[in-house]
Structure 1
Amino acid sequence: MRKYLIILFVFASLQLWGQKDIYESVRFDELSAEHSTLAIIPFFANLDLEQELSKEELGRLEELEGKAVQDALETYFGRGKKKKKFSVEFQNVENTNALLAQNNINYSNIDTYTIKQLSEILQVDGIVSGNIDLNVLLSRGVSDEVSFLDYLLGDANYGRIGIKISDGKTGKLLWKYENEITKKSGRNTTDLIDKMMKKMTRRFPYDKERKKTRKRT
């Protein structure tokens, strides 16, 4: 029995090890040198829910989940702004969404615009975007209690999230972070983003402390 428990522990550890990934362009410093303001756009959400839903209702819920991530990131970056934690400003999402609407850009057609086009419309230096795949409605809140059986049955996994930062002038991908979403990730979208970003503070490219460290090396 003990042997099987050890095997299961190793297996679980390997799963957790492969759950997150960070990419940073070798040209990040060069392309972001003059960045002062970034815009956070609604995330593209993909829901795989147990209940049967109409195409319209599914689309509505996906938009809600995508905008919940946008709001959660603004909340997190807003806290950092008060502490002067970041080297860039983040455009208010109400202004972002208003500018998008004024240009007839909505959740259903925003993917037809390039990063360069969106940056020009929003008058920013870069875009924060991404994807979130979920099998629950995270924005409504979920249980964060986890049992060993949940891991064995796969019921502890809620999906995956990817956050990207792209340069406005070139449209180039500068930085990307991907991570699994589990019951331990957070009770709702705001909690998820807060925990996730705090864990990788020194690896976020616009963190002032990280920039100081890079200059010393």
Structure 2
Amino acid sequence: MKKTILSLLIIALGFSANAQKQIFESPKLSSEIKNHKTVAILPFNTKITYKKQPKGFNAEANRDQEKTMSKSIQSSMYTFLLRKGKDYTVEFQDVDKTNILLKKAGISDKLDETTKDEIAKILGVDGVLGGSFETEQTKSEAGAIASAVLFGGFGGKTGTGTLTLTLNNGTTGDLLWRFFKTMDASIASSTDDLVEQMMRKVSRNFPYTK
């Protein structure tokens, strides 16, 4: 019975639909993206914090987790866009190629110190899709499961998060489009879930949608 309850929780819990979102579109968006053929997806700037720091917290391990999540969101985004490629007017550069070129240029850890047009030139693309994800963990996974079992339903909230997705023009570096969304995170949330939920919300406004 306990295994059944746990399985249901893991399957059912995801990102809450109760979230705020904001979208910005530059007046130049339509005219600029007409010239875009290839777009790169950058590793996301990821930050993990805790409302109450857990026992045995290790700052180095936390930074490693942030780096892992950064690449994981990038990969999930690429997989999603590749899967729905026929719906878009551009092609998306393979993220492995993107990361190798960034590493060769010595800017993998200096993306925040490099302009978007400089990055686009290094990658040989017309546009740069990037963003950030920040999450504050408020409850352990075990605590979330216990709460859901005790109080019923599939509450299981473990934290809050904010996700920002941006599109910059490759030639000028100008910001053409920005999507911002806040959400509640739960124990079943994966980067695939995160991207799926976000793109479902943004699909009508995604710049390259046919």
Alignment partners' CA distance in 2, 1:144 and 1:25: 43
Deviations 1:62-121 (A, max 9, x none): 11111111011001101111xx11001100000000111111122x32211110110000
In the alignment, structure 1 residue 20 sits paired with structure 2 residue 21: yes
Deviation at 1:154, TM superposition (A): 11
**What's 1:180 paired with?**
182
- Tell me, yes or no, if the aligned pair for 2:158 and 2:185 is still in contact at 8 Å: yes
- Tell me, yes or no, if the aligned pair for 1:144 and 1:187 is still in contact at 8 Å: no
**What's 2:71 paired with?**
67
Aligned CA distance change for structure 1 residues 155 and 60 (closer, same or farther; 3 Å): same
| Bigger relative CO (Cα 8 Å, ≥ 6 apart) | 2
**What's 1:99 paired with?**
101
Superposed CA RMSD? 2.9
Aligned CA distance change for structure 1 residues 36 and 157 (closer, same or farther; 3 Å): same
- Tell me, yes or no, if the aligned pair for 1:186 and 1:195 is still in contact at 8 Å: no
Alignment partners' CA distance in 2, 1:160 and 1:182: 9
In structure 2, give the amino acid aligned to 1:74: Y
Alignment partners' CA distance in 2, 1:58 and 1:184: 19
Deviation at 1:205, TM superposition (A): 1.1
- Tell me, yes or no, if the aligned pair for 1:41 and 1:96 is still in contact at 8 Å: yes
Query: For this pair of structures, how many residues does the alignment match?
Result: 182
Alignment partners' CA distance in 1, 2:48 and 2:103: 24
- When normalised by structure 1's length, the TM-score is 0.74
**What's 1:113 paired with?**
114
In structure 1, give the amino acid aligned to 2:76: A
- Tell me, yes or no, if the aligned pair for 2:45 and 2:132 is still in contact at 8 Å: yes
In structure 2, give the amino acid aligned to 1:102: K
Aligned to 2:189, the other structure's residue is in SS state coil
Which of 76, 82, 106 is the matching residue for 1:78?
Answer: 82
- Tell me, yes or no, if the aligned pair for 2:157 and 2:186 is still in contact at 8 Å: no
**What's 1:198 paired with?**
200
**What's 2:14 paired with?**
none
Gaps of 5+ in 2: 1-16
Gaps of 5+ in 1: 1-14, 209-217
Aligned CA distance change for structure 1 residues 185 and 165 (closer, same or farther; 3 Å): farther
